[in-house]
Structures are given as C-alpha cells and as structure tokens.
Chain A
Amino acid sequence: MNNTLIIGQYVPGNSLVHRLDPRTKIVIIFFFVFFIFFANSPASYGLLTLFAITSALTTKIKLPYILKGLKPVWFLIVFTFFLHLFVTKEGEVLLHIFTYPIYSDAVSQGTAISLRFFLLIMVTSLLTLTTTPIEITDAIESLLHPLKRINFPVHELALMMSISLRFIPTLIQETEKISKAQASRGVDFKTGSIKDRMQAIVPLLVPLFVSAFKRAEDLAMAMEARGYQGGEGRTKLRQLRVEKRDILAYVLFVCVLIGLFFTRS
C-alpha cells in the first residue's frame, strides 16, 4: 500500500508502452540490459540514456514518481560510484580530497558503472510499472513455450505464478489479522531484544502456515471440481497478439542498437 516502497508497482494507464505486447517489452528489455555492457563512450551512454528516458516519458507516468520508486536502489548506485572513486588508481590525478588522490579513470569508471546500474533498474521497473503481473506471467509462458519440448513444465510454472499473484493480497490481510489477534494476547512485535522479537514471530507464522495449507487444499479441490487436469487440451482466454505498434517498437529499438555501434569508441 505504501507506494514508495514497492519498486515498479503497476500503475494503470493506456499509453503506448502500456499497450505493447508484454513479450515485446520483455524481449526489448532483455536485449537492452545485455547491450548496456557494450556502451563505452559518452555518446553511447548518452544514446542509451536518451532511449530509457524517452521510454519513461512515453508511459505518461510522472518521471519523479518513477525515480522515487527507485529509492531503495539509489543508495546502491551512489555507493557503487564512491567505491570506484576511492578504489580505482589509474589515469591522472585530478584532485585531492584532503590528502586522498582522486584519479580521472576513477571518475569515468564510477560514472559508467553507476549509470549502467541506474539504466538497468530503471528500464526493468518500466516493465513492471506498465504491465500487470498476470500479463508478465502470460508473456513468460509464451516465451518459454519452446522449452515444453524438453519437458519443462511451462504451463505449471505460469499457473503457479498466477496463483501466487492472486493470493498475495489475501495472505497480507491474513497476516495482519493474526498479528492483531496475537497482539491482543500480549505479544509485542515492536519492542524488546532481537531474540524476543524472533520469538514473537512464531505465534504469527504457525497460524499463517496452517491457514495457507488449508487454503491450498481447498483451492486444489475447487480446481479439480472445475475440471482442471493439467495443461493438455486447455484453451486460453487471455491471448497475446503482436500488433503494428510492437513491430514499430522493435524497429526503433534496432535503430538504437545500430546507433550504439556507431557511437562506440
């Protein structure tokens, strides 16, 4: 519920990026992440950053909101930068901080690494910001489809993912309910030593597990009663279709990649 805490929690919308086939988004992001490591000049980094920012703007989700969502990883990005700044000892000495020398390569490498890191997180969070979890599940099922031939349980994996998604809110409610019941019996989850607090978790976890198992049992029975007998012979309501806009997205992306190879030094 706290909207700054969850990285890339889905924001409903109707932008071009929202409407892209989730497979398109996954494929592009996969290759983008891969090609980030090919960037080695300021121009190439600039190109990739431009692509990421443009994509973000196209989603019509406010940029500050997206950046705020990255809050938990900002620390890591900054940390990486400073780590490089102080550890790398190549190139010319640019300046001294107190008596500690800072090298030119340290600055450029630190910037490059943290920029890579930033782009990586930013672009992947664009996926989850504009795609419902169930769409991602469908896309994964479809992309992994070829693996069926080697008996990889693609359908089962996708079903498991979608059921987990379905039950997360239910289990969060349940956790809240049980912790209130135990707090009423004098359990203190908030104060005390670490050992005390660990012990306070037991009266919460046991009932939670018991109820999760009960739910699983009920659900399995309901699924069976509704005729579920594995992936064989099933049809699907939710279907993914490649549209013109997907082709457009691929073309644009390939252009960026070509640009990347020209801007490399």
Chain B
Amino acid sequence: MSGPLIEFQNVSFRYGEDQPWVLKNVNFTIGEGESIAIIGHNGSGKSTIAKLINGLLSPQAGKIFVDGMRVNEKNIWAVRKSVGMVFQNPDNQFVGTTVRDDIAFGLENRGIPREEMIRRIEECLTVVNMSDYVQHEPHRLSGGQKQRVAIAGVLAILPKVIILDEATSMLDPKGRSEIVDTVSALKNNRHMSFITITHDLNEIIHADRVIVMNDGELWLEATPRQLFTKKDELVQIGLNIPFVARLAEELTRVGVELEKHPLNHEELLEELWTYHSKM
C-alpha cells in the first residue's frame, strides 16, 4: 500500500491576524478507501478542515498532502480533481438551471468530452436514484433530492475522496435518511474514501474511525465503539451520545455487565440476552 490519501502535519489556521486560531496544530492521516467521521460542536473547526483539504482555505502553519501532492497554489486544481465536496446548504451549491446541467457543471469545468459527459451523468443519476428528475429545476426539488444531485455531481468527476460537510444538517428526517442510505450504498460499491463532517452522532456509527474536534484541537481519534464509552467527556464538549450507548452505560452502572459496547438496538438486545442466559 502507498502512503496515506490525506495527511495533515501540524496544521494551524485562522481567518486573520487579529482573529483567534480556528485550528491549532492538527495532525492526522486518512487512508485510501477509509471512511472517517469528523465531529465537534458548532465552531469547533471541523468544517475548516474540509475547506483546507481542497485548498479553499490555506493554513498559516503546517502542511497538507492529498494523494501525494502538497496542497498549494501550484497543485490546487489537481487536488480538487481527487476531492469531491458536498456542502451544507442544498440551495447554494446548485449551479445549473436543471439537474442535468448541474451535474454537467463539474464535468464541463474539467473539459470532459460531451459524449463521455452524457454517459457519466446518466450513470451517476442512477446511482443516487434521481434518474426521473433529469430535467427538473432546483426549486421543484426537495432538500434531500438537491443533496443527492450534489452527490451525483461530485461522483461524476470520479474523485478519490468525498467530503460531506454537514450535508444533512439542513434536511428533514426523510431527506437525511435518503442521504445516509445513498452514502452507505456508495461505500459498499466503490473504492473511495469518505469524510463525513457532522454533529449528528447517529451518522458516525458506520465510520471506520472518528476524529473529534474541540475548540480547534484534535481532541480524540477513536472507533465509534470506543467513542461511545466516553459519554461524560463528550457531553462536556457539547456533544451527545446516542440513546443505545447511554442506556448501555446506565445498565453497566446498575450492575448489568456487557461484554462490548453496543452500537445499535440489536447489539444491545443480544448483549442483554447473553447476560440473561448466563444468570
């Protein structure tokens, strides 16, 4: 295996000389095909990381590497070919006047021949299950549908990593589950890395690894399972753990011993069953 896909070396960032540091000496690596979640309260610096990765912002100190390239003026467009980003507001990233035109935008920018474009648009719309909406205008789509178009637009450029920068935070539960389902289907079918930036802890369960940010510092790197044992610490930095993890912790407190920390209802019930049959 070659080197990591994304690497942050002692990265610090602030918006201006007289502004506070948004990121302080951050280090981490993300491997090819890995699925990472970055969490933290609003203002913890998690979205800044996304913008640094593809050079929308550049750090005052430290180095960032993407796919073996240093992220700087010279490499910026090559880097952006490897990184696809889906932003928070579904309305403000929809460039085309129709679904088809919007997906074409990224392809046009990269000078992809028209025949190839048509093929890729069709394929990507099928992947996100939006083939019936090719000619739709954005104001006739729901938030979830717009975000799926955004994902298709990003997929069309065949990136090595897709960053979802709070892509579900403005959606209703239906839209949210549409996106979560779309992404998990992609994870299974494509060899690609995913970075999910979120404050919804239900979305991190499927991540290989979680990076927790707090006040500009990398506070913790852990698997979701390890993370859910740290309820008190998470609450302290403005986050919450899901219901299952909370219940598991309370159960341990009243003397029900569980072998591993459960991530979902089935696991918890299974654990309880084992505990029950041992008695």
Q: Are A239 and B111 in contact (CB under 8 A)?
A: no
- For this complex, into which size category does the number of interface residues on chain A fall? 20 to 34
Label chain B's interface by main secondary structure.
helix
A234 and B117 alpha carbons, distance in the complex (Å): 12
Nearest residue, chain B, Cβ from A165: B97
A81 and B154 alpha carbons, distance in the complex (Å): 58
Q: Are A226 and B109 in contact (CB under 8 A)?
A: yes
Known: A134-B97, A169-B139, A238-B101. A229 touches B92 (CB 8 A): no
Nearest residue, chain A, Cβ from B109: A227
Known: A218-B92, A237-B118. A226 touches B105 (CB 8 A): yes
Q: Are B85 and A225 in contact (CB under 8 A)?
A: yes
Known: A218-B89, A227-B157, A229-B77. A234 touches B96 (CB 8 A): no
Select one of A134, A165, A221, A236 contacting B114, CB under 8 A: A236
B141 shortest CB reach to chain A, Å: 11
Q: Per-residue 0/1 for B86-106: is the Cβ within 8 Å of any A Cβ (1 yes, 0 no)?
A: 010101111111101100111
A71 shortest CB reach to chain B, Å: 26
Tell me, yes or no, whether A197 is within 8 Å of chain B by CB.
Answer: no
B91 shortest CB reach to chain A, Å: 6
Q: Are B139 and A227 in contact (CB under 8 A)?
A: no
Interface residues of A in 50-91 (CB under 8 A from B): none
Tell me, yes or no, whether B1 is within 8 Å of chain A by CB.
Answer: no
Select one of B87, B94, B108, B154 contacting A236, CB under 8 A: B108
Q: Are B111 and A234 in contact (CB under 8 A)?
A: yes
Q: Are A237 and B97 in contact (CB under 8 A)?
A: no
A166 and B92 alpha carbons, distance in the complex (Å): 11
A159 shortest CB reach to chain B, Å: 9
Q: Are A235 and B56 in contact (CB under 8 A)?
A: no
Q: Per-residue 0/1 for A225-258: is the Cβ within 8 Å of any B Cβ (1 yes, 0 no)?
A: 1111100011111110000000000000000000
Residues of chain B at the chain A interface (Cβ within 8 Å)? 51, 54, 56, 77, 80-81, 83, 85, 87, 89, 91-98, 100-101, 104-114, 117-118, 121, 137-139, 153-154, 157
Which 7 pairs between the two chains have the least Cβ-Cβ distance? A218-B92, A222-B93, A237-B104, A227-B109, A169-B139, A226-B106, A225-B85
Q: List 15 A-B contacts (CB under 8 A).
A: A162-B97, A163-B95, A166-B138, A215-B92, A219-B93, A221-B87, A222-B95, A224-B56, A224-B80, A226-B153, A226-B157, A227-B77, A227-B106, A227-B109, A229-B77
Known: A227-B110, A235-B112, A235-B114. 10 other contacts (CB 8 A): A133-B97, A162-B96, A215-B89, A218-B92, A219-B95, A223-B105, A227-B106, A235-B113, A237-B114, A238-B104
